[in-house]
Amino acid sequence: MPFLSDTLSRVKPSPTIAVTNKARELKAAGKDVIGLGAGEPDFDTPQNIKDAAIAAINEGKTKYTAVDGTPELKEAICAKLKRDNNLTYTPDQVTVGTGGKQVLYNALMATLNPGDEVLIPAPYWVSYPDMVLLAGGTPTFVEGALETQFKITPEQLDAAITPKTKWLIFNSPSNPTGAGYSADELKALTDVLKKHPQVWIMTDDMYEHLAYDDFKFCTPAEIEPELYDRTLTVNGVSKAYAMTGWRIGYAAGPKDLIKAIGKIQSQSTSNPCSISQAAAVEALNGPQDFIASNNEVFVRRRNLVCEMLNAIDGITCPVPEGAFYVYPSIAGLIGKTTPAGVKIEDDETFATALLEDKGVAVVFGAAFGLSPNFRVSYATSDEALKDACTRIQEFCASLS
């Protein structure tokens, strides 16, 4: 009898963590490595949020809470959804988990049966397909293209839906591309979904507030109220409030689904950290002005990276609407050879050679389901970004 479960054999370890580990190993061996793999803002959590956590500790908010969130946090989430998204929810339609990741996972665990398909636009956040597999479902994919800034079209969506499709996972602005769907683009997709009543929408709005230039964030239930009853709107405080380590995410949706998610949570993690929940109340109810100033920094870095990468022969780097990632194509470099004689056969060989030759750690596109590309996270200092992009320029110039 095998000791490890069959479920485990269905999933692979996170490729983004593998890249981070490799970069760490090289650094430990004394190599000068710049990591562009991080999926978190390099800013610190704002002081008012830290103070709220300290106050929570001092006030004794150190016990178990209600399984799916304190009443204060649920109220703050309802107010946020009304204020930012014009969506009306009551606290019993809201669940809070240990990060958006746990909420997404719980929702899939609560709803998938063998044979159920979950449609995932590629390139995608690395965890979606594996979470679907862990929950016993089948991930299916629809590929965005460089020409459409990696966004899927309504025709593609329509063609990819089958009678077994239970969920569409939607993520805008996207990890790994930064691409954001405009209201018109999203409406074209929700029009398709209206025709397929068996399909529910799991929208991952984690990068909502990281939206640049004149791009306006929008979310499916807001764009198409007819879909309200089959939409789970997932969000969290990790990215906008620089709170990745605090582990608070949440979702709003139909009561029965929210209850089912709570049932899974009650038998796994019980409740998200009481202190982090108090901090999240302050994040959502407190001043929001630092988001705009953080975004100014992100826009400057995005422009810097896009300019430096687009100056390279063989690389095309679309300028995205949000998040803190760019997803350049290396189609023009495939088939070339490094000075050490390594042939660039795909994006994985590119990323490995770049790390070994120049000490720049990026994540290869195959990890996100669309090649030949790589992902750069620009959530690091301007100096590090300039240095890294100069090294990428030198590396590409050395190929023949």
Q: Which residues of the chain form contacts with ligand PLP (CB under 6 A)?
A: 39, 99-101, 125, 171, 175, 204, 206, 236, 238, 244, 249
Residues in the chain, how many? 400
With respect to ligand PLP, which residue has the nearer C-beta, 165 or 238? 238
339: exposed, middle or buried (Cβ count in 10 Å: 0-12, 13-18, 19+): exposed
Give the shortest CB-279-to-ligand PLP separation in angstroms: 14
The least distance separating ligand PLP from the CB of residue 39, rounded to whole angstroms, comes to: 4
Burial code (b: 16+ CB inside 10 Å, e: under 16) for 353-390 equals bbbebbbbbbbbbbbbbbbbbbbbbbbbeeebbebbbe
- Least distance between ligand PLP and beta carbon 177 (Å): 11
The values of phi and psi at residue 317, to 5°, are -125, 100
Least separation in angstroms between CB 101 and ligand PLP: 3
User: Which residue lies nearest ligand PLP, judged by its C-beta?
Assistant: 99
Q: Where are the alpha helices (DSSP H) in 171-288?
A: 183-194, 220-223, 255-266, 274-285
Please provide the DSSP assignment of 170-236 as one string.
Answer: EESS-TTT-----HHHHHHHHHHHHT-TT-EEEEE-TTTT-B-TT-----HHHH-GGGGGGEEEEEE
Residue placing its CB nearer to ligand PLP in the complex, 220 or 249 = 249
- Residue 50, number of CB atoms within 10 A of its CB: 15
Torsion of CA 364, 346, 361, 326, to 10 degrees: -50
Q: How far is the CB of 178 from ligand PLP (least distance, A)?
A: 11
**With respect to ligand PLP, which residue has the nearer C-beta, 302 or 358?**
302
Q: Among residues 106 and 338, whose Cβ is nearest to ligand PLP? A: 106
Q: d(Cα 206, Cα 298) in Å, to the nearest integer?
A: 16
Q: What tokens appear for 277 in the block?
A: 């929940």
User: How far is residue 152's CA from residue 160's CA, in Å, rounded to a whole number?
Assistant: 11
Closest contact distance (angstroms) between CB of 117 and ligand PLP is 20
Residue pair 252/203 in contact (Cβ under 8 Å)? The answer is: no
Nearer to ligand PLP, 107 or 315 (CB): 107
What residues does 364 pair with on adjacent strands? 374
Q: Tokens 């209600």 map to which residue?
A: 66
Chain centroid to Cα 239, Å, comes to 9
Of 178 and 359, the one with the shorter C-beta distance to ligand PLP is 178
Nearer to ligand PLP, 40 or 346 (CB): 40
Cβ proximity to ligand PLP: between 37 and 91 the closer is 37
The residue type at 80: K
Closer CB to ligand PLP, 26 or 275, in the complex: 275
Distance in Å, CB of 13 to ligand PLP, minimum: 16
Shortest CB 203 distance to ligand PLP, Å: 11
> Least distance to ligand PLP from the beta carbon of 314, Å?
28
Strand partners, 139: 118
